[in-house]
Every structure is written in C-alpha cells, then in structure tokens.
Amino acid sequence: MSQKTLLDPLPRQLTELPEERWPVYRGNNKPIRVLVSKKFMVQVFAERGGYCRLSVNRVKRKAGGKWKDGITWDELQQIKKECGFG
C-alpha cells in the first residue's frame, strides 16, 4: 500500500486506522494498533511482560525516504495521551 493511500485523508488528531489500511509488515513484528494524524504515525507493539512499545514517527519524510526527525518532548507527551497512554 502506498504512503498516500495509507495516510490520505489525514485527520487532525491521532485516529486509529483499520488494519486493512496499515503499512505492509514483514516477519512476526506486527503492531497491535496503528494511529495516524496530519503530523504523526504511531505504531503500538505488544512486548513481553504485558508492556506496550510505541514507535512514533512524523508523517513527513526526508529526501531518501527516511523519517523526518525532531519530535519534541511536549509533542511526545501529547501523542501518548492521544493514544491512551498519558
């Protein structure tokens, strides 16, 4: 699935994506939830011991396809709240 299909249209706040709109995952490291907004994509992974790990990326990418850096502490705290972990 292309990035445009995955992320279009983009909501203002983090919104859970249905599984059919998730990126393609290889192997057995598949998230249990994927949320997206105009600025961020959050992937929630189940870890051993009942923990969850969040992978947070900006939706924008740099030349070459790598994720754009620079998520502030305040943005990260807001993201965690919107995902239900704040």
Instruction: Give per-residue pLDDT as tens, 2-22.
Output: 455 455 678 889 999 999 988
Instruction: Give per-residue pLDDT as tens, 42-86.
Output: 999 999 999 999 999 998 877 887 777 889 999 999 999 999 987
Which residue ranges make up each domain of the chain?
A: 3-83
41 burial level (CB within 10 Å; 0-12, 13-18, 19+): buried
Q: How far is it, in rounded angstroms, from Cα 40 to Cα 38?
A: 6
Q: How far is CA 7 from CA 23, 26, 46, 50, 81, in A?
A: 10, 20, 23, 29, 21
In 3D space, the residue among 73, 38, 66, 43 whose CA is nearest the CA of residue 56 turns out to be 43
Answer whether residue 32 shows pLDDT above 70. yes
1 falls in which pLDDT band (50, 70, 90)? very low
